[in-house]
Amino acid sequence: MSVIMMEKGISVIVCTYNGVDRLKPTLESIATQHIDNVAWELIVVDNASTDNTTAFCHEVMQAAPAVQFRTIQESAPGLNNARLCGLLAAQYDIILFCDDDNHLHENYLQEGNNLMRTHENIGALGGHGIPLFEGEKPDWFDKYAHSFAVGPQAANSGKIDQPDAEVYGAGSFYRRQPMLSFFSKGFSTIMSDRKGNSLASGGDVEWCYLIQLAGYDIWYSSALQFYHQMPSSRMHWDYYLRLKAGIASGSARLFPYKVLLHNWDCTLLQYRYHWIKQKVKVEMQWQKNKAAKLIRSSNESKSVTLAATILSNRATAFRRDKILAAKHFANLRKWLAAIN
């Protein structure tokens, strides 16, 4: 794999869509970071906002003139598009994706930089999100907190030792060079991630899988802590079901990565076998769940309703995305052949 030369430092990238009501504490937490002898910049990617986001960010950042700050526009909707825009515009070799509702603890950049410089095989590094509730915490929240990008991401800090490891995108560091090695050659992701008010997701998972295909590790550190806003509008069970439906709807598109991460030499014929096997498994799970619902009482538990939502969306995804996923598998195979 060719190495793309770039300056050492950190590019903090905040992607936002209509973020005026969320951005001020986020930008302030970045501007007040305690970091020594490390060059860094802050880039806000305005992803087709209609609420005067760009002007608002410049107004907030007037209070921090020492920060190297700029905004850029990405007209194509979708979080993946915004992240790619930030990746390409960044100046430094490490990037930090900070969501527009994250408030970083004051040593976040310093801790992340230390780990990334000490362990050169870290490709992506995730932190520990702490929920910041606008109202009351739902009684079901702790059980399902990970879906909201909060809580620990592994039992211990360090390398997540599994072939298809992942960390949530909020507050995650990435080594820029391996990602550019994909996108500079015209590679296109299969996940669009969130667009506007859509809850489709999985772009952060895809980036973690790409990092691992490039030969790098995924790490988690409990020392990297940030607050993650939990607005009352999201603290409803119906919202969570829609969130999980969006996550499950991308499962088939991510399947080519899972196959290759477990067997880098997998052929197209072998992939088709794995696809059929997985499709049958998901379909049987869904049909079993539907049959069981017929004999259950109408007063179903939250876990039962959640399982039905996930399984139905997975089954739909494996019916819908067969051709798209197969084409992406072929593209991934070509890229792996090119670098080996």
For 7-235, CATH gives 3.90.550.10
**Is-contact 26 14, C-beta < 8 A?**
yes
The helices-and-strands tally (H runs, E runs) of the chain is 11, 9
pLDDT digits (tens, 9 = 90+) for 233-263: 999 999 999 999 999 999 999 999 999 999 9
pLDDT digits (tens, 9 = 90+) for 193-220: 555 555 556 889 999 999 999 999 999 9
Residue whose C-alpha is closest to residue 300's, from 232, 251, 239, 241? 241
* 123, two tokens: 């490709």
**Is-contact 246 309, C-beta < 8 A?**
no
pLDDT digits (tens, 9 = 90+) for 133-162: 999 999 999 999 999 999 999 999 999 999
**Is-contact 82 47, C-beta < 8 A?**
yes
Residue with tokens 């603290």: 235
Q: Which are the contacts of 135, defined by CB distance < 8 A and separation ≥ 6?
A: 232, 235
pLDDT digits (tens, 9 = 90+) for 172-196: 999 999 999 888 777 888 986 555 5
Rg (CA), the chain: 20
Q: From CA 87, how far away is CA 97, in angstroms rounded?
A: 9
pTM (2 d.p.): 0.92
Phi, psi of 65 (to 5 degrees): -65, -20
